[in-house]
Amino acid sequence: NAGVTQTPKFQVLKTGQSMTLQCAQDMNHEYMSWYRQDPGMGLRLIHYSVGAGITDQGEVPNGYNVSRSTTEDFPLRLLSAAPSQTSVYFCASSLQYSSGNTIYFGEGSWLTVV
Amino acid sequence: AQTVTQSQPEMSVQEAETVTLSCTYDTSESDYYLFWYKQPPSRQMILVIRQEAYKQQNATENRFSVNFQKAAKSFSLKISDSQLGDAAMYFCAYRSLWVGTYKYIFGTGTRLKVLA
């Protein structure tokens, strides 16, 4: 059982480049989400999804796109990278309808935009 | 919108002593879950404890316990008999149970240092 898998683990981008952070889970979780973690800012929700075909914005969605074509995958796209997007990104998933379910995190993706 | 506030950026505790981490939240919902997560230097997120809002009894997991005050919207974490392995960043989290959202909101974290 792999849990939540994020790729790549490290990436350096130039300003203006685009890229996709991949996230996959094999737990049949309805809820998937992306967070960014910055010093002193904690974990901020970028986008989330409560099922295939359904996505919604979190606290800091600007500059990012998501889609959810399958239950397993929830990629995060940076359309035109900016230095302000340098951060650690976490993908997380959870069962939606079961009570008390915890959220499972991937190992994080370190992104540097120069 | 729901918010979670952790007002202590950093805390220190002597090994074997007890420490309490504070968390307050704001919501208009009556039913929700609250969590404490631990993030060691490896950056892995580890569930420490969770609390259902409809339960008045405070959750306990071994050396970890919470003080849940629903009316005050307060959810503090008490760590007893602190160990060196408890040193980490601790995040308080709120999970909405509104149909169609179910999103998790995290606080800014408290870095706990354990002194030998």
Residue range B30-53, pLDDT digits in tens: 888 999 999 998 878 889 999 988
- Report pLDDT for A13: 97
- Report pLDDT for B41: 85
Residue with tokens 């010093």: A39
- Report pLDDT for B97: 76
AA identity, residue B74: S
Scanning every residue of chain B, which has its alpha carbon at the shortest distance from the alpha carbon of A91?
B45
Residue B16, by phi and psi: left (phi above 0), alpha (psi -120 to 50) or beta?
Answer: left
pLDDT tier, A99 (very low <50, low <70, confident <90, very high otherwise): low
* Residue A15 half-sphere exposure toward CB, CA atoms < 13 A: 4
Scanning every residue of chain B, which has its alpha carbon at the shortest distance from the alpha carbon of A109?
B43
Contact between chains at B45 and A45 (C-beta distance less than 8 A): no
Q: Are strands B46-52 and B60-61 parallel, antiparallel or unpaired?
A: unpaired
Q: Which residues does chain B have within 8 Å of residue A58's beta carbon, measured at their own beta carbons?
A: 103
| Average pLDDT of chain B, as a whole number | 92
Contact criterion met (CB below 8 Å) for A33 and A93: yes
- Report pLDDT for A97: 61
